[in-house]
Structure 1
């Protein structure tokens, strides 16, 4: 990351990333990327201009809501 995020809590880093692109790895092996619009303490996320990469293919979505139970990791792009 380009920012100095030392000393920040993980949810603070996500809060800073609102409006920017993030990438999330899900339990099913999918990778999701999109513009982070909102999230909660359970890592439920609302993404816009989202795409899902799975089995070598990509599917584009306008808006996507991810259930936090499925998230393994999430990071600003």
Structure 2
């Protein structure tokens, strides 16, 4: 059974009918678009999706990687979150580490 999704075209605000038959069809719609990928071990990627396969192996370009590390303050026992960012021109992402794929929020 095919589901139909209506998407708003970015430039001219027209509605287009898109048929989605399986989850990877939604990923296909993001080719050449900026996406957000949540990975295992508190890693997050934002970049342009160039290619993917059925295992969610992906090739991303213009990637910003954010790694979040949680440390415990030894005196107050409070959690301290530290983020490390780096930019990567082209990246191969192995699909078994992917938790979530999403278009980035409009503010990103």
Interval of TM-score (by shorter of Structure 1 and Structure 2): 0.7 to 0.9
Structure 1 contact 43–71 (Cα < 8 Å) conserved:
yes
2:25 equivalent to 1:12: yes
Q: Over alpha carbons, which structure has the higher Rg?
A: 2
Could you tell me which of 18, 21, 29 is aligned with 2:42? 29
Structure 1 contact 51–61 (Cα < 8 Å) conserved:
yes
Please state whether the residue corresponding to 1:3 is helix, strand or coil.
strand
TM-score (norm 2): 0.64
How much does 1:35 deviate?
Answer: 0.1
Q: Which runs of 5+ in 1 are unaligned?
A: none
Q: Which runs of 5+ in 2 are unaligned?
A: 1-5, 9-16, 69-82
Matches within 5 A, 1:21-60: 21-55=34-68, 56-60=83-87
Paired residues, number:
76
TM-score (norm 1): 0.88
Which structure has greater helix proportion?
1
Please state whether the residue corresponding to 1:42 is helix, strand or coil.
coil
Cα-Cα RMSD: 2.0
